Structure 1
């Protein structure tokens, strides 16, 4: 594991093209090119950025959100698809690792999904948010432990979590125990106001300190015109503002560049991996500072399925007959 390198990272704060998978994808491809022009070797985008975060579910009651939910199905991303191929091609062309949030459609279900592309365009990881939060449970299904892994990439060992997954200490510890060097965090942005900005600040800085890794965090942003597209109710429009905090944090919990809390922009910083050793020399929470004889994490890393495959191995003929009917 190389701790002598330096990696330039970019966290993108950006607004989607509402209601358009293709339009938002074009913005992603443009941002990848801009990040590469700045010398970035890693670029991180917001939570479920393609086609857009389901803000409608935060301001509409379930009985009224059917139309918008259906529209999200129509614009959601399948994996693989022309969207993932385009992003992979861009990653390869610019030799840059890409972490991208999407609304993934898997037949009749949607998921909050994080994709990690390596600098050669390979899709290293497709993981789904393990527990959607509050209103999100009306939109997305649940992920599983198969996505709680750290992947080896051209820029180091990468882990990723979305939004309030960072409030699940065991989920974070699962990644920490795999010695992630760069943690890629994603939040929706433009929600709840300053309190959400403050909470993100606490969350990402604490994870950097506790894990002894870098945190590259990206949040989305909505313009006033986009907020008006989502709801015409002025009272509800107020809750679709603030809550942005795009930032890059070092292993000692410090900002490595000015954070972005409003508008579109790109936070860029150089990640000196020797700082990981400097931090962990003092406190390695999965090494010399851990007590596995007292406290251990048990992780079910098996992907779940609606069909138990043990049944198919025991009764293959019956399954074949059912499939033929």
Structure 2
């Protein structure tokens, strides 16, 4: 099904390379043998389509690959070395926020000559961001461990992710979906963060997440009435089957149970973003790569308990259109 696009994509990749000075040797490095072996053990080919999911709070990024059944399977989870800002969407240029939402990464957004080893642009701002008047540019997934609104993965990790994406494009994939979340969209996290001003937006993101969690297929994304709409056919209503609706309803019941049992509403306040715990102190030596604002990472996020009343609890039961 994807084969006829190979020639077109090959040309697109060459053009992208010319725009970036012809490409670098590091951008042509092969996928590591261990990762190829992992693919084989999971019935995957290096040229199968991919999808990437990112989580700020957990500081993790997942690469998924499509199998012969048309469903995505998790290939590998990478720790994020650095992201900046707070939980919540990027709003304007210079706010140091890493984006949240559903993005499409095309071959032209791959940068083989990045100043941060290798990188790809997330595609921010997308149609949803533009509908909100949000501004910003060059929001990347890249190497090193320094961030000003990006996801820094270390040079080793971005080299592997870049190679996996490159081979998927070579196999005929026209673009891959990049799903960026504030946290894993679990009932517990939704209950904990129920009083955050972004809860309406996050509930909207969870709709797309729920579809992927159940179907392991890429949701078709549109923008309607200032919200993300998933799999809709010219309407603002999501087109989900019974299994997806059942998961969403089950999560709502669990959220209500957690709230009723006394789970406190909290806000996480970061000095300036965070990083995966596996990197704490790892780059203390002067020979290591640059770590942006290391003094703000030392204590981790500050958890602030929020007093929420009936109005906050009730907001969990309705869609917030003004996100």
Same fold per superposition (TM over 0.5): no
- Please classify the TM superposition score into its range, dividing by the shorter chain length: under 0.3
Taking structure 2 as the reference length, what is the TM-score of the superposition? 0.25
Taking structure 1 as the reference length, what is the TM-score of the superposition? 0.25
